[in-house]
């Protein structure tokens, strides 16, 4: 009879939530985004309310669009008998792998009303020239 060690299956399960906590926090802090495409281009829209253009870094390397930045927003309200202040600070990062037909060297990006829109054109399908093949007898 082979006896299983209690530590081999038990201890890793205790630490799993802690191992995954960093990833979950990063996902929670990451800005919301959506990706879409049509016949001509791919479009990625990322919500960045309160983030200034100077605090955003966008790059493309090896078919991956990388977006990093710093969020610094403040809001204060005062009344006769009350005061309210809300601040949000923190770094964010998002990455998107481009499909093979994306032209990563022709990217356009603009920000308007707190939404960064990244447009990546698609490569035009290559037209192949048909080659006539002669059929021989016998």
Mean pLDDT of 43-58: 91
> 35-121: what CATH class?
mainly beta
Is residue 49's pLDDT more than 90?
no
Helix ranges restricted to H, the chain: 6-29
pLDDT tens sequence across 16-47: 555 555 555 444 557 888 999 999 999 999 99
- Name the band, by pLDDT with cuts 50, 70 and 90, for residue 120: very high
The torsion of the CA quartet 33, 71, 24, 15, rounded to 10 degrees, works out to: 160
Q: Has this prediction a pTM greater than 0.85?
A: no
Nearest alpha carbon to residue 116 among 60, 55, 63: 55
């Amino acid at each position: 009879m082979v006896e299983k060690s209690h530590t081999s299956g038990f201890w890793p399960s205790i630490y799993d939530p802690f191992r995954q906590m960093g990833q979950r926090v990063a996902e929670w802090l990451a800005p919301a985004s959506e990706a879409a495409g049509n016949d001509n281009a791919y479009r990625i829209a990322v919500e960045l309310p309160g983030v200034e253009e100077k605090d955003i870094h966008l790059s493309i390397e090896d078919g991956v669009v990388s977006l990093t930045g710093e969020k610094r927003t403040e809001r204060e309200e005062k009344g006769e008998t009350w005061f309210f202040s809300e601040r949000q600070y923190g770094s964010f990062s998002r990455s998107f792998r481009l499909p093979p037909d994306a032209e990563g060297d022709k990217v356009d990006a603009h920000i308007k009303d707190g939404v960064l829109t990244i447009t990546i054109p698609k490569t035009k399908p290559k037209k192949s020239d048909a080659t006539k093949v002669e059929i021989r007898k016998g």
